[in-house]
Every structure is written in structure tokens, then in C-alpha cells.
Amino acid sequence: MQPFTRHRGLVGPLDRANVDTDLITPKQYLKSIERSGFGRYLFDPLRYLDEGWLDKPENERRPNPDFALNQPRYRGCSVLLTRANFGCGSSREHAPWALADYGFRALIAPSYADIFYNNCCKNGLLPVVQPEAVVERLFAETLANPGYELTIDLEQQHIETPAGERLAFHIDAFRKGCLLAGLDEIGLTLQSAAAIKAYEQQRAAAEPWVFGVLDRARL
């Protein structure tokens, strides 16, 4: 996955609490297990006035003009500002896949559902937690200033506003290290591939009967 170190991006507001994963990526789009292509379905019930389904041509859809992310001023936004308990509901990885495919690199909210938070980190998205009062102020600044951008520095663990204010945030060391390196758990494990292979060879030499049983089990 793409490493995350420091990102400056246009802020897109989603002024809604308890946004669940079915609203982020509706169930009718979950047939694919590819990580790409889900951006077109992000927030589908909010973005469109008509019902959508897999492979329905976009030129046949009716965009909702009242949905903030459909407005020209937020085109190209890469930082999502939203409310509490974002990502609640079912534990589908398609939700962070859709957010990333749409172009988001970071999220800012007072809180997230635990599984969604973990899935974001595993897919190169940085979910930043800020107090509700700070989020409220960022909403006000975003709405009042077209082109409002924030800089998110993961190494230093702070958000920088256009006025130069720095807002600290917490992230545990393991998730931070994986995001900085662009590694999920599989990528992290593969860094030790040589040591794993050496261990398997050593054990096969010391206990060949174990590997014989495993080979027969595979058959």
C-alpha cells in the first residue's frame, strides 16, 4: 500500500454522525473482491437521487445537488471531515477501499468504529481522532473558506491549519510504523520471508516426519 508520511489536501465535509459501512459502500456493490473501482460507489445513497446497482452506467445516474461532495468547490478533496462513530455497522473492507479509490488519504472525526478504524490503517488511510469541539471548528472553517486545506503530518502526529495552528493527534506506534512504511500485516510478515524460510528448512531437517505428515494431509 502507499506509504503515508505527510499529506496536504482539500477538505471535504460530511456533516453526519453514525455513518455506517453500508452507507459508505452499499451491499449491492460487494460482489467484487478487487480493491480498485469502488470509488464510484462511495456514499452512493447520498450522492445520487436514483437507486444504483453494480455496472449501472454513471451517465444514467442523477447526482444529488445537495450532497456536499458533489459540489464543485469540493472536487478533488482528499481529507474527509465527518462526525462521531464513523464506519459503524458491518465489518466490510470495501468501505476503506471505496474511500481510498475515491481519492481520500485521511479522515478526521471525533470517533470511529473499531473494526473500520483498523481496516483503514491496513489500507493506507489515516483515521485521525480530534475532540468534537475541534471538529466543529474545522467544519465552520471549511464551510466558510472555499479551497480550505489541511496538512496532516503522521511523523510529527499533528494537523496543521492554514493559519499555522497545529492540532496534535494520537496513534499507536505499530499502526504508525506500518502506515509510514506502507505495509499491512502481510507486507510486514513478508519482510521476514528469508528468516521464515530458513526456519522451515531447519525444522524440516530436524523433524522430517512432521513435514511428511503435512504433505500427506495436503493430498
Strands (E), 121-196: 126-129, 149-153, 158-160, 166-168
Mean pLDDT across 135-140: 98
Query: 129-137: which pairs have CB atoms within 8 A and are 24 or more residues apart?
Result: 129/169, 129/170, 130/159, 130/167, 130/169, 132/84, 134/167, 135/81, 135/83, 135/108, 135/109, 135/110
143 or 30: which leads in pLDDT: 143
Residue listed under C-alpha cell 469540493: 74
CB atoms under 10 Å from CB of 109, counted, come to 23
202 or 216: which leads in pLDDT: 202
CA distances from 66 to 61, 69, 204 (A): 15, 9, 64
Q: Is the pLDDT of residue 106 over 60?
A: yes
Q: Quick one: pLDDT at residue 212?
A: 65
Q: Quick one: pLDDT at residue 14?
A: 98
Residue 195: exposure state from Cβ atoms within 10 A (0-12, 13-18, ≥19) = exposed
- Interatomic CA distance for residues 78 and 90, integer angstroms: 24
Q: Quick one: pLDDT at residue 30?
A: 87
Q: Quick one: pLDDT at residue 219?
A: 46
176 or 187: which leads in pLDDT: 176
Q: Quick one: pLDDT at residue 203?
A: 78
Q: Quick one: pLDDT at residue 25?
A: 95
Residue 214: pLDDT band with limits 50, 70, 90: very low
Q: Is the pLDDT of residue 60 over 80?
A: yes
> Among 41-45, 59-63, 79-83, 206-210, whose mean pLDDT is lowest?
206-210
Q: Is the pLDDT of residue 85 over 90?
A: yes
As given in the structure block, the three cell numbers for residue 43 are: 456514499
- Interatomic CA distance for residues 117 and 129, integer angstroms: 10
In terms of CATH, what superfamily is 6-183? Aconitase, domain 4 (3.20.19.10)
Give span(s): CATH 3.20.19.10, the chain: 6-183
